[in-house]
Structure 1
Amino acid sequence: MKKLRVAVVGLGVGTSHLEAYARIPELFEVAAICDLDAAKVAAATVRFGVARHTSRLADLLADDELDVIDLCTPPNSHRALIEQSLAAGLHVICEKPLVGSLAEFDAVERAEEAASGMLFPVFQYRFGNGLQKLKFLQARGFATKALVTTIETHWRRDEDYYAVAWRGKWATEKGGCCLTHASHAHDILSYVNGPVKRVYARLATRVNDIEVEDCAAIAAELEDGSAATLSVTLGAAEESSRLCFVFADMTVSSASPNPYRPGLEPWHFKGRTPKIDAAIRRALEEYAPSLESFEGQFARIHASITAGAAKPVTLADARASLELITAIYHSADTGLPVTLPIARDNPAYDNWTPSRGGFPKAVDHV
C-alpha cells in the first residue's frame, strides 16, 4: 500500500488533522508543516515529530516528493492556495468553507478540471458510525420518505475566541455561526435527505460584538417535499449538537455527547411499528464499523488517490453546502425566502456578505 506524503498548512484546526494522520500512519506520512506562527510550528514539531517546517507555501509547492497539500488556513486564503497547489500538480485537501462564494467555487472547480491532482473538501462529520448506520439503513430500503428534520448547533464562543484577528469579520472569516460552526451539521441534512429547494432565514448578532452572525433560525424546504428547521447559537451555556430525522417508517436521532462529533454513536433508531423496529435491529446487526471523523475521511481520500475509489466528499457536495449558506445569507439580508439553485445573476452569487454589512445586533455580555 502506497503511503502518501502530506504537508499540513495552518496549525489551528490543522492540529486536529495532524492528530488524525498520526492515527493512520500506514496511509499518510506528514512530511512538513507550515504556519506563520513560529510558536505553533515549534509546538507541532515536537508533538508530532515533523522535522521539516516552513512559513511559505512556495517551499512546499517546489517539493517533488509531496503528494498532498492539506489546507487549514483562514477562509479568505483558500481560493488562491487551492489554485496554486493544484497548478503545482498536487492533490489538495481543504477545510471548510472551501471558498468564499459560489463564483469562487466555480473558479476552483475549473482549476481542478485542468489539473492532474484532485480537490477534496473536508466534511468529517459524515464519517461517524452513528450517521453511517442511517446511511446503511437507507441503502437497504429504510428511511426513504422524509417528513421533518431538526438540526441544532448550540455552541459557545466568547471574546477570547474572537481575539484571533481574522475571526468575526466578513472579509476574512467570510461568515459567522452558519458558515464556520454549523456548516458541517447542515451538510448532513442534504447528505441524508437530498437537495434543499427553498430557505427562509433569520440571523442576528446577539452574543459577541462581532461583524458576523452568531444566532440563527432557519426553515428549509427540500426537493423531496420534506421540511427542516436549523437552529444555531454561539451563546449556549452547555454545548450540544442534535440531529433528528423523522421518516415515514422510522425516527432517527443523534445522541453523541461530543458537540463536535455528532455523527459518532450512539444514535437512536426507532421503527414506527414493532415489525419495522425488529427489521431495523436485524439490519443493523450486519453493519460493520469503519474509521470515523477526520481519519475516516482521510482514509477514504487515500483510497481515492491510490486506488481510484470514489471521492468521499465530492465538489458537488461542497457546492451544495455553499449554495445553502448563500441562500441563508441572502434570505436574511432581503427578508424573503430564497429558492435554490442560486443563479449567476443573483447578487449573492459573487458575494454573500449582507448589503447592510451585518445582521441585527443586540449584544449583552453576561
Structure 2
Amino acid sequence: MPERLTVAVVGCGIGRTHILEGYLPNSDRYRVVALCDVNAERLSALAGEFDIERRCTAFDEVLAMDDIDVVDICTPASIHYGQIMAALAAGKHVICEKPLVGSLKEIDEVIAAEKRSKGKLMPIFQYRYGDGVMKARKIIDAGIAGKPYVGTAETFWQRLPEYYQVAWRGKWATELGGVLMSHSIHIHDMLMWLMGRPAALFGRVATRIHDIEVEDCASATLEMESGALASLTATLGAREEISRLHLAFENVTFESSHFPYSLGDDPWRIVPRDEKVKAEIDALLSGWKPVPRRFAGQMRDFHTAIVEGREPPVTTSDARAALELVAAFYHSARTREEARFPIGSDHPYYESWIPQRSPSGSA
C-alpha cells in the first residue's frame, strides 16, 4: 500500500473534477480531508457529495491545518499567485490549475519560492495524459521520429454569452487573458512538450465574438529552437468543437484525436515513413500498458514524485514556458513585430501584459 497524502481542495468549481477524476481513482494514494470555498452553499454541496467533513471559507484556515500534505488550488487565476506563495511558505506541496500565475515576474518568484520550500509545486496540464500523446512522446524520445519539420495546433472551441456571466471571466484584471490563457494554453503546452521550445513568434489576437475585454481569437506562426515551424490558431466561436495537433517529423507524422477535452486520448494517427520505421514503432510500443488519462494520470505521477523525492511530472519550468508563449503572443500582436525567446526581466511584458488604463477608464 503506497503512502497516502492528505489533500485540501481550494475552490469547488474545477475542484470537483479534481476529486472525481484525480483523487478518487487514486484513493490508495490520496485522501481529500478538507474543502475550502468562499461560497458556503457550493462548499456544503460538494462536501456533502463526497462526504468531506472539514469545510472552511478562508484560505488561511487551510494553511493552519498541520495534517494537510497537499493544497490543491482551483480558484480564479488572479488569486493563484498569493495562494501559491503562502502555501509554499507553509511548507505544503501544491497543485494548481492553469494558468499558474499572471506574469513572468510572478512565475520567477514562484520558482524561487519553491526552491526555498520543502514543498513541491505541480501546475495542471492534464491533457498530457492519455495513450495517444504518451505514445507520441515515447516515439519521439526514442529518436524514431527524427527531426521535427512542421506542426499545427488548433483550438476550435465554443463559448456562449452565458459563459461570461461568471463575474471574473472575460476581464483582464481577473482572467488575466482570454483564449490564450484559459483555453488554448493546454494544446500549446502539448505542442512544446512534443516539438520543443520556440525561438520566435509572430502573432495576432482579436476580440470578434463576445463583448469582453480579452481576446477570443488568436493566430501565430512560430520558429522552434530546432528550426521547425509551427502555426497556432484558436477561437471560441467555432460551430463544431475540436482540438487538433498535427505534427510532421522526418520519419513519422502524428495527428491527435480531435476530442476538445480529451486531446491526449487515443486514437492518434501515427504514420511512419516506411516499413522499417513502422517495425521500430511496433517494437517500441509492444506490450503498451494504458496510461491513466487526464487528472488520474497526473495525480498518480505527482504522488510518485513526492514519495520518491523526484521532480513533479509537470514543473514550474513548464508553466513558465506556457506563460512565456502568452507574453510573446501579446507583445507581437500589439507591436506588430516578431517576438523572440527567451523573455527575461528586461522585456517590456515581463512584469505584465495586461493593458494599462487611463484614469478615465479607457485603455
Q: Shared topology, TM-score over 0.5?
A: yes
Does the aligned pair in 2 maintain the 1:74–1:166 contact within 8 Å? Answer: yes
**Structure 1 residue 37: deviation in Å?**
1.3
Once residues 255 and 301 of structure 1 are traced to their aligned partners in structure 2, the CA distance between those partners, rounded to angstroms, is 25
Q: For the residues of structure 2 that align with 1:310 and 1:338, how far apart are their CA atoms?
A: 30
Does the Cα contact within 8 Å between 2:327 and 2:349 map onto a contact in 1? yes
2:120 touches 2:312 (CA, 8 Å); kept in 1?
Answer: no
Are 2:22 and 1:30 aligned?
no
Structure 1 residue matching 2:122: 3-state secondary structure: strand
How far did 1:355 drift?
5.7
Distance 2:112 2:141 in 1: 32
Residue pair 1:199, 1:219 contacting (<8 A) in 2 also: yes
- Superposition deviation, residue 356 in structure 1: 7.8
User: What residue number does 2:58 align with?
Assistant: 56
After superposition, the C-alpha distances for 1:48-74 in whole angstroms (9 at most, x for unaligned) are 121111111111111111000000111
Which stretch of structure 1 is more off in the superposition, 347-356 or 13-22? Answer: 347-356
Give the C-alpha shift of residue 274 in structure 1. 2.9
* CA RMSD of superposed structures (Å): 1.4
Counterparts of 1:189 and 1:108, CA distance in 2: 24
Contact kept? 1:333, 1:355, Cα under 8 Å: no
> How many pairs are equivalent?
356
Aligned counterparts, 1:153-302, within 5 A: 153-256=155-258, 258-302=259-303
Per-residue Cα deviation, 1:271-316 (whole angstroms, up to 9, x for no partner):
1123323332332224322212111111111011112233201121
Kept in 1, the 8 Å contact 2:144–2:277? The answer is: no
Query: How do residues 53-202 of structure 1 correspond to structure 2 at under 5 angstroms?
Result: 53-202=55-204
Question: Following the alignment from structure 1 to structure 2, what is the Cα–Cα distance between the partners of residues 278 and 87?
Answer: 51
Kept in 1, the 8 Å contact 2:144–2:280? The answer is no
Could you tell me which runs of 5 or more consecutive residues in structure 2 were left unpaired when the two chains were aligned. Answer: 359-363
Letter in 1 for 2:3: K
Is the Cα–Cα contact under 8 Å of residues 329 and 354 in structure 1 kept in the other structure?
no
- 1:159-190, Cα deviation, whole Å (9 max, x unpaired): 11100111001111000001110101100111
Shift, 1:337, TM fit = 0.8
The residue that corresponds to 1:308 in the other structure is: 309
Q: CA deviation at 1:87?
A: 1.1
Q: Distance in 2 between matches of 1:305 and 1:329?
A: 36
| Contact kept? 1:129, 1:263, Cα under 8 Å | yes
Counterpart residue type for residue 220 of structure 1? L
Where does structure 1 lack aligned partners over 5 or more consecutive residues?
A: 358-366
TM-score when scaled to structure 2?
0.95
Match of residue 3 from structure 1: 4
2:227 and 2:355 mapped to 1: Cα distance?
29
Match of 1:13 in 2: 14
Task: Tell me what 2:319 maps to.
Answer: 318
Change (3 A) 1:239 1:74: same
Bigger mean CA deviation after superposition, 342-351 or 169-178: 342-351
Query: What is the SS of the residue equivalent to 1:300?
Result: helix
Q: 1:86 to 1:61 in 2, by over 3 A?
A: same
Partner secondary structure for residue 174 of structure 2: coil
**What is the Cα deviation at residue 110 of structure 1?**
1.4
Aligned equivalents of 1:144 and 1:286: distance in 2?
Answer: 23
Confirm or deny: 8 A CA contact 1:136 1:287 kept in the other structure. no
Q: Any idea what the Cα deviations from partners look like across 1:139-175, whole Å, max 9, x if unmatched?
A: 2221131111011011111111100111001111000
For residues 40 and 22 of structure 1, the distance between their equivalents in structure 2, rounded to whole angstroms, comes to 20
Larger mean Cα displacement after TM superposition, 21-30 or 273-282: 273-282
Q: Does the 8 Å contact 2:77/2:99 carry over to 1?
A: yes
Deviations 1:332-351 (A, max 9, x none): 11111100111212110001
Question: Helix, strand or coil for the counterpart of 2:173?
Answer: coil
How far apart are the structure 2 equivalents of 1:245 and 1:92? 33
Kindly indicate whether the alpha-carbon contact (under 8 Å) linking 1:252 and 1:267 is maintained by their aligned counterparts in 2. Answer: yes
Deviates more, 1:33-42 or 1:213-222: 33-42
